[in-house]
A and B are shown apart, each in its own frame.
Chain A
Amino acid sequence: MSGAAIILKALQDQGVEVVFGYPGGAVLPIYDELFKTNAVRHILVRHEQAAVHAAEGYARSTGKVGVVLVTSGPGATNAVTGLTDALMDSIPIVCLTGQVPTHLIGNDAFQEADTTGITRPCTKHNYLVKEPGQLARVMHEAFYVAAHGRPGPVVVDLPKDILFADCPYVEAGEVELKSYRPQVKGDTSAVERAVDLIAKAKRPIFYGGGGLINSGPKASKLFTEFVHKTGYPATLTLMGLGAIPASDRHFLGMLGMHGTYEANWAMHDCDVMVCVGARFDDRVTGRLSGFAPNAKKIHIDIDASSLNKNVAVDIPIIGDAATVLEQMLAVWAAKGCKPDEAARAKWWKQIDGWRSRKCLAYRPNDDVILPQHAIRRLFEKTRGMDCYITTEVGQHQMWAAQYFGFDEPNRWMTSGGLGTMGYGLPAAMGVQIAHPDALVVDIAGEASILMNIQELSTLRQYNLPVKAFIINNQWMGMVRQWQELIHGGRYSESYSAALPDFVKVAEAFGGVGLRATKPSELDDVIDEMIKIKQPVMVDVAVKQDENCFPMIPSGAAHHEMILGPEDQAERRTSEEGMVLV
């Protein structure tokens, strides 16, 4: 079999249904094979970065590996942002890149780039296939590595001569990787100690993250079950949203920089913290010296390098979230553990006090659409529907996290770790491919969406009824907010000047454009958007200078958060905070 045929066979054997790609000289033999066999669906994107984001959306919404195919040189370098995004957010991706033939590598040949060199720090692993005999093994290994342990992107760089060469095929089952063997089951004694600690806690909190999503829907189920068994409060990171239903009364909302007052205060005051599949990111912890100062910390993570990285914990447990939660629940039952009910009631009373601040409340406005309100209405109008949300990056992303409630995992796709503007539209495309009948909405900012707007053309080509719901504040709002708060209101280059008419843009790409400029128009526009089974772009003109609150200023701790504009004057960002991003 030719190398190209081997690749197609390996993709099929790995259960790949769709590949997001863009052709070029170095990968023509693979495209030829795609054409001849018609075995795997190919989605032709309009930019390689979008191919990776689409694969991410596909992967995150299905739990499968997302597959990308790009050419050498510029094809590969264009994919780098997407790969880095997938690495930061632990998304399983296999990205096949074309390469100049082996005998030309290193010669500055046409469209040559040192792809394995460039992508080494932004992939979980990468391969350069230099011998035909390795090709099948590498293909299978790539899928194994992408999906096992902490998921991530894997690049397979394919010199063109290998694609023509005669290669032997090996079955996936025959390929065994001896070096990379992630630990799935938690250490039993650590699990027991953790359960004892949880049972004895007076002010406990569960803090779940993206690892719950990575682990599969069962992890979310078990997490929720444990929360219910104990009756303890729970919070989630941006990446974990949906792991426990937003409507569950134990859920305190997201924590962190733009998390809720109650979640952050509960984190600050807790005596036992149970972190499952979250990585103590700086957006979450705030100033480390002020982070949960009196808490004993349990941390469950499949990646040992996440443990004791930013925060020293008392009981680290290496293992898969679902497996360890299952172990914990078994120990909890076997020991007949019972939480201290009096302490728990007291703790909830304190939490209810924080809740009563209603940190996400906003004053209704009849003249201008508030961004929070726009998202709230989108949430309310899509309730009960089979709905998936992606976002771009900025204020709208945070508002989406705050005002859109997710009751299930895998429904929320956002760029958390890298914060990549331009993620949302292509990610939505990938989600829609996986779930053709679902309602898929990209909650966007007017600046971000311009970063991958070309994908409207892809949406049209494949009749993907993705909705782009643009929270148009005419500013790079998140940048403007920081400039207001810590740079004296000097709005340097953060105005979205010369914006296109988004309705016309949508139409020019063969989709439908809608606009809402007054609160009274909002509901109708949302209804119409939902009804139209075509790509739709909605331009929602919102209040321009609205800031996103609550907020923990950089360098501050959980208990120093700002609730709203009234708070700002008193709590200025510290000098140490200024240097943080």
Chain B
Amino acid sequence: MNPTDMPIERHTIAVLVANEPGVLARVIGLFSGRGYNIESLTVSEVDEANARSRITVVTSGTPMVIEQIKAQLSRLVPVYDVHDLTLEGAHVSRELALVKIHNTGEDRIEALRIADTFRARAIDSTLQSFVFELTGDTGKINAFIDLMVALGDVEVSRTGVVAIARGTGLDMPLVRRNVTKRKRRQPVTGD
């Protein structure tokens, strides 16, 4: 089959990288420089002691392009490991969204009702507004936002997708060698 005729697939890829300056620029530059899609990209340090961050990318392309993306990511020097969660079996993926809705009257009550069925929590409220916190897969969050838009003026902040494989296997386990030397983090305020 002609490579350009192959079907477009969406894949969720987890990348373990060294948490060092420029690493995110490298990953993003790779996608833009080679014309790959980024549908979502999240990053955060996951292993402070070893300075490792985990990036979750949701991307789409033909199977050949997806293979390329993984190979290109793997050859970046600060990359430790790459896992194609879509290909490697079942995985769970979640986003967190903060959705602020500004409305009054019946719509406000309806918003609260819907939030309840979505198990969204109101974490801030005024007489004319709520901020809901919602986690779920991308589809659920999209559905929730669509409903909210119908009920008022809405502002949204989303984390993008984080994902991990189901089951007992640890694809990219934390390495704990220098536990004693590890400096304690300042406690974070809030909940």
Decide whether A and B are members of one complex: yes
A305 and B75 in contact, given A128-B21, A289-B2, A312-B3 (Cβ under 8 angstroms): yes
Contacts of A177 in B (CB 8 A): 77
Interface residues of B (CB under 8 A from A): 2-3, 17-18, 21-22, 25-26, 29, 33, 64, 67-68, 71-72, 74-80
Neighbouring B residues of A145 by C-beta, 8 Å: 77
Residue among B22, B25, B78, B79 with most chain A CB within 10 A: B22
- 23 A-B pairs with CB atoms under 8 Å apart are A116-B22, A120-B22, A120-B26, A120-B29, A121-B29, A124-B77, A126-B22, A177-B77, A178-B80, A179-B17, A180-B79, A303-B71, A303-B75, A304-B71, A304-B74, A304-B75, A305-B72, A305-B75, A308-B64, A308-B68, A309-B68, A312-B3, A312-B64
- A179 and B75 contact, Cβ closer than 8 Å, known pairs A116-B22, A308-B64, A308-B68: no
CA distance A461 to B25 in the complex (A): 42
A308 touching B67 in the complex, CB below 8 Å, given contacts A120-B29, A121-B33 = yes
Chain B residues, Cβ within 8 Å of A289? 2
Determine if A117 and B25 form an interchain contact, defined as CB atoms under 8 angstroms apart: yes
Determine the distance from Cα of A66 to Cα of B99 in the docked complex, in whole angstroms.
55
Taking a contact as CB atoms under 8 Å apart, the answer to whether A179 and B26 are in contact is no
Task: Please list the 9 inter-chain residue pairs (A to B) with the smallest Cβ-Cβ separation, ordered nearest first.
Answer: A305-B71, A304-B71, A125-B77, A180-B77, A179-B80, A305-B72, A121-B33, A308-B67, A305-B75
Q: Within the complex, which residue of A128, A150, A303, A305 is in contact with B22, where a contact is CB–CB below 8 Å?
A: A128
Cα distance A516–B82 when bound, in Å? 59
Complex: how many Å from CA A121 to CA B17? 18
* A307 interfacial contact with B, CB 8 Å: yes
Interface centre among B33, B71, B78, B80 (most CB of A within 10 A): B71
Residues on the A chain within 8 Å of B72, using CB: 305
Contacts of B71 in A (CB 8 A): 303-305, 307
Q: Which residues on the A side are within 8 Å of B29 (C-beta)?
A: 120-121
A residues near B22, Cβ cutoff 8 Å: 116, 120, 126, 128
Distance of A524 from chain B, by nearest CB (Å)? 51
CB neighbours (8 Å) of A130 from chain B are: 21
The smallest C-beta distance from A41 to any residue of chain B, in angstroms, reads 29
Interface size on A, as a range, is 20 to 34
Output the least CB separation between B86 and chain A (Å).
Answer: 18
| A126 to B29 Cα, complex, angstroms | 14
Measured between alpha carbons, how far is A165 from B71 in the docked complex, in Å?
Answer: 39
For B78, list chain A residues within 8 Å (CB): 179
- A57 located at the interface, meaning its Cβ lies under 8 Å from any Cβ of chain B in the complex: no
Distance between Cα atoms of A138 and B22 in the complex (Å): 15
CA distance A117 to B77 in the complex (A): 16
Please tell me if A277 contacts chain B, counting CB pairs below 8 Å: no
Binary contact track A286-325/B, C-beta < 8 Å → 1, others 0: 0011000000000000011101110010000000000000
User: Among residues 156 to 187 in chain A, which have CB atoms less than 8 Å away from a CB atom of chain B?
Assistant: 177-180
Interface residues of A in 120-149 (CB under 8 A from B): 120-121, 124-126, 128, 130, 145, 149
Judge whether A120 and B25 touch: CB under 8 Å. Answer: yes
Q: How far is the CB of B49 from chain A (nearest CB, A)?
A: 14
Q: A179 contacts B79, CB within 8 Å?
A: yes
CB distance from B139 to the nearest CB of A (A): 31
Closest-CB distance, A460 to chain B (whole angstroms): 40
Residues from chain B with Cβ under 8 Å of A288 in the complex: 2-3
Contacts of A308 in B (CB 8 A): 64, 67-68
* Contact (Cβ within 8 A) A179 B18: yes
Chain A residues with Cβ below 8 Å from B33 are 121
Complex formed: what's the CA distance from A130 to B21 in Å? Answer: 10
A289–B76 Cα gap in the complex (Å)? Answer: 31
CA distance A145 to B79 in the complex (A): 13
Please, how many angstroms separate the alpha-carbon atoms of A125 and B29 in the complex? 13
Q: Which residues of A, 61-84, contact B by the 8 Å Cβ criterion?
A: none
Distance of A303 Cα from B70 Cα, bound (Å):
12
Shortest Cβ distance from B18 into A: residue? A179
Q: Which A residues are in CB contact (< 8 Å) with B68?
A: 305, 308-309
In the bound assembly, the distance between CA atoms of A305 and B64 in angstroms comes to: 11
- A149 to B22 CA separation, bound complex (whole angstroms): 22
> In the complex, which residues of chain A have a beta carbon less than 8 angstroms from the beta carbon of B77?
124-125, 145, 177, 179-180
CA A177 to CA B78, docked complex, whole Å: 9
Expressed in whole angstroms, the Cα–Cα distance for A126 and B25 within the complex equals 12
With both chains docked as a complex, state the minimum distance between the C-beta of B177 and any C-beta of chain A, in angstroms. 12
Closest-CB distance, B18 to chain A (whole angstroms): 6
CB contacts (< 8 Å) of B21 on chain A: these are 128, 130
Tell me the minimal C-beta distance from B66 to chain A in angstroms. 11
A120-B26, A305-B68 are known contacts; what are 7 more A-B pairs with Cβ within 8 Å? A120-B22, A124-B77, A128-B21, A149-B75, A177-B77, A303-B75, A304-B75
With the chains together, A150 CA to B76 CA distance in Å? 12
In the assembly, what is the distance between CA of A312 and CA of B65, in Å? 11
| Docked CA distance A117–B22 (Å) | 8
Residue ID in chain A nearest B22 by CB atoms: A116
